[in-house]
Amino acid sequence: MLTNFAARSTFESVVLGSGSLSVVLDGYRPRGVPAWNANLSLTVHGDVMERGWYVRGDMLYEGDRYADNEEFNRDPGAARYNLRGGLDVNENFTVELYGNNITNLKRLPAIAFTTAGVGANRKIFTGPPTLRELGVRVLANF
């Protein structure tokens, strides 16, 4: 929580019309900082016909956050899900199926907020969101 803070950005001057004055933001959450985060992982493993297997699921939740310090533009919370499962074919060889971000959540990272760039154009300074990735992984020991 901001205890003693004033801001002067594009949002304050253009949208809120603060002119040359800064906007007092005491008591608000800093932009891009979620109220809370959570993760939950579950792994189940066992043996079938003397071969080891496992299934693992992950849920990564990031709570709502604001794109500005005035808590005006809200980005709702979202969860990302990963799933993978593998089977030991023999002592030195494992095959794994995996899916990262299986619901294809396209939420930008928390640093992905706009700012005034060259010529007062709005820019986003971050990489693209991590899209869905599905695949097969082969692990071998030599």
Encode pLDDT of 54-93 as tens digits: 999 999 999 998 877 778 888 899 999 999 999 999 989 9
The span from the CA of 52 to the CA of 107, in Å, is 36
| pLDDT at residue number 30 | 79
The answer to the question of residue 121 being in a domain is yes
Domain tally for the chain? 1
pLDDT(2) > 70: no
The answer to the question of residue 39 being in a domain is yes
The answer to the question of residue 56 being in a domain is yes
pLDDT band at 123 (very low <50, low <70, confident <90, very high): low
Q: What 3-state DSSP class applies to 31?
A: coil
- The single residue listed with the structure tokens 């082969």 is 138
| Average pLDDT of the chain to the nearest whole number | 83
Number of C-beta neighbours around residue 24 at 10 A = 13
The answer to the question of residue 82 being in a domain is yes
Is the distance from CB of 45 to CB of 52 less than 8 angstroms?
yes
The answer to the question of residue 91 being in a domain is yes
pLDDT(114) > 60: no
What pLDDT, in 10s, does the model give residues 31-64?
Answer: 788 889 999 999 999 998 889 999 999 999 999 9
Strand 51-62 to 78-90 pairing: antiparallel
| pLDDT at residue number 70 | 78
The answer to the question of residue 7 being in a domain is no
Element (H, E) at 7: strand 6-7
Tell me the residue range of the domain where 134 lies. 31-140
pLDDT(23) > 80: no
| pLDDT at residue number 113 | 57
The answer to the question of residue 101 being in a domain is yes
The answer to the question of residue 127 being in a domain is yes
Number of C-beta neighbours around residue 12 at 10 A = 20
Is the distance from CB of 107 to CB of 77 less than 8 angstroms?
no
